[in-house]
């Protein structure tokens, strides 16, 4: 009898908790595609690893060039070559933990911007990124103070990055 009462009580609590969760409407954030990047990575990247007990640390992967455009193809910035790069680690399970920095140069006002991305993925296949950006460009202040997420894919040494921001 006690077991039956306990089961009824647990079922009641579960139903009550579910009704509270259903009553609370959760507004999911909406993101919009703001930029697409095509970044040329260094061909020596695959040779720049230090082996550790945790995995292989990437130590010197630079960027040779590339650019970022709006979804309609308008050029926003060029990747400033040989400044910044990757310093992530591929763990012993094969997961890439991205930690990269990249410098952009805006052609419209000759100013610079600085991207920092962290995330995870599969080496030379794809990655999911959280990004922060800073610039003192008067023309591109709208890029500051945003929460960006990105999705990257690889085509050989070309890293294609799709960047989204809160709508």
Give the pLDDT confidence score for residue 83 in this predicted structure. 83
Count Cα neighbours of 152 within 13 Å in the Cβ-side half-sphere. 30
Confidence of residue 19 (pLDDT cuts 50, 70, 90): low
Q: Is the pLDDT of residue 34 over 90?
A: yes
Q: What's the mean pLDDT in 83-101?
A: 87
C-alpha R_g of the chain:
22
Main-chain phi, psi angles of 129, to 5 degrees: -130, 150
Please check whether residue 44 is in contact with residue 58, taking contact to mean a CB–CB distance below 8 angstroms: no
Residue in 138, 130, 137, 114 with CA at minimum distance from that of residue 164: 130
Angle 115-35-124 from CA coordinates, rounded to 5°: 70
Higher pLDDT residue, 57 or 65?
65
The pTM assigned to this predicted structure is 0.79
Strand 89-91 to 55-58 pairing: antiparallel
Give the pLDDT confidence score for residue 37 in this predicted structure. 97
Token pair for 38:
């095509």
Strand 49-51 to 75-86 pairing: unpaired
Average the pLDDT over each of 20-24, 32-36, 142-146 and give the range with the smallest value. 20-24
Neighbours of 127 (CB within 10 A): 25
- 3-class DSSP assignment, residue 22: helix
Q: Is the pLDDT of residue 24 over 80?
A: no
């Amino acid at each position: 009898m006690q077991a039956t009462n306990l089961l009824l009580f647990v079922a009641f609590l579960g139903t009550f908790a579910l009704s509270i969760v259903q009553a609370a409407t959760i507004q999911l954030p909406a993101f919009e595609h703001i930029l697409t990047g095509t970044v040329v990575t260094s061909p020596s990247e695959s040779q720049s690893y230090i082996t550790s007990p945790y995995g292989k640390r990437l130590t010197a992967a630079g960027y040779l060039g590339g650019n970022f455009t709006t979804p309609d193809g308008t050029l926003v910035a060029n990747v400033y070559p040989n400044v910044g790069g990757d310093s992530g680690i591929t763990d012993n399970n094969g997961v890439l933990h991205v930690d990269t920095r990249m410098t952009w140069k805006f052609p419209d006002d000759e100013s610079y911007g600085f991207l920092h991305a962290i995330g995870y993925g599969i080496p030379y296949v794809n990655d999911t990124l959280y990004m922060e950006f800073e610039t003192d460009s008067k023309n591109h202040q709208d890029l500051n103070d945003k929460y960006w997420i990105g999705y990257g894919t690889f085509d050989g040494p070309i890293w294609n990055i799709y960047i989204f921001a809160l709508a």
